Amino acid sequence: MPVSTSSAGLPLWQRRTTAAQWLRFAAWLFGLCLFLLCWKVISDNTMWVFVEDAGRQGSDLLRRMLPPRWEYAEKLWRPMWDTLNIATLGTALGVLMAFPVAFLAARNTTPHPLVRSLALMIIVSSRSINSLIWAMLLVTIVGPGVLAGIIAIALRSIGFVGKLLYEAVEEIHPTPVEAISATGASRLQVMNYAVLPQVLPAFAGISLYRWDINIRESTVLGLVGAGGIGLALNASINSLAWSQVSVIFVMIFATVIVSEWVSARVRRAMI
């Protein structure tokens, strides 16, 4: 903490040195300018007449959504079941693939640095690309339907689960690994006895967490044709049936809340 001497010869306390003060000021100024510049780009690309109209549009939308057409809910059970399946099967598939990738990507379990960079590549590409983009790709490849959704969710989950899991593997205690190696165990046996027990709880937690996220994600995959309740949502929006849209929203809200509750319960039971 810098203490300088004032003109009267008394020690003067400042929180930062003068140079640090200026640097901070410059950084804030730069940040502010960048923000204003970005804002300008957005504002140039916006039709402000529509925005002025937003309040009226919003209330209009609300009026058309209410009251919800509850009898539409009966047609939603099948799409909802599909959505749950996309999330669950997709998570299971993704977790199965992420498991080996994580061990190849962790510094302390990878067989070779080259393999490690390859595994990290897989993780980064899977993570960077949103599941909706994966779904768009897969719909053009395997055709519209639940299958595209399942694979999209699985591909997106590899990166998420793989990243968190390999970080957990890198954080294990090294002493049990040393001890098991010292018994003359083979590489696989060391994995099975010293590494796996240490990361299994993290693995279960991460998978559940991803399942939770995937339920949310799978509700919109239908917008690009990959099955589930998103298909119904898309159809209702295209036909401007807003009273059906509100029913779908209520369904999604309830499902997500329930899934969050379920995963919290399972997590507590497991750990």
Q: Which stretch binds other proteins (CB under 8 A): 2-10, 46-54, 98-106, 111-119?
A: 46-54
| Cβ atoms 228, 169 nearer than 8 A | no
End-to-end Cα distance, the chain: 45
* Among residues 14, 17, 18, 183, the one that binds other proteins under rule CB under 8 A: 183
Q: Which stretch binds other proteins (CB under 8 A): 10-18, 69-77, 102-110, 120-128?
A: 120-128
Shortest distance, position 104 Cβ to other proteins, whole Å? 19
| Cβ atoms 231, 222 nearer than 8 A | yes
| Pure H helices in 106-145 | 113-128, 131-142
* Among residues 33, 34, 96, 264, the one that binds other proteins under rule CB under 8 A: 34
* Among residues 2, 14, 18, 58, the one that binds other proteins under rule CB under 8 A: 58
- Beta bridge partners of residue 5, listed in sequence order: 11
Strand ranges for the chain from DSSP E: 3-5, 11-13
Length of the chain: 271
* Among residues 179, 239, 258, 265, the one that binds other proteins under rule CB under 8 A: 179
Shortest distance, position 165 Cβ to other proteins, whole Å? 16
* Among residues 8, 19, 54, 271, the one that binds other proteins under rule CB under 8 A: 54
Which contacts (CB < 8 Å, 24+ apart) does range 264-268 have?
266/208, 267/204, 267/205, 267/208
- In the region spanning residues 71 to 100, those forming contacts with other proteins, defined by CB under 8 A, are 81-82, 85, 88-89
The backbone torsions φ and ψ at residue 112, rounded to the nearest 5 degrees and listed phi first, read -155, 145
CA gap 139, 158 in Å, rounded: 19
* Among residues 42, 112, 238, 271, the one that binds other proteins under rule CB under 8 A: 42
- In the region spanning residues 197 to 236, those forming contacts with other proteins, defined by CB under 8 A, are 197-198, 200-201, 216-217, 219-220, 223-224, 233
Shortest distance, position 6 Cβ to other proteins, whole Å? 25
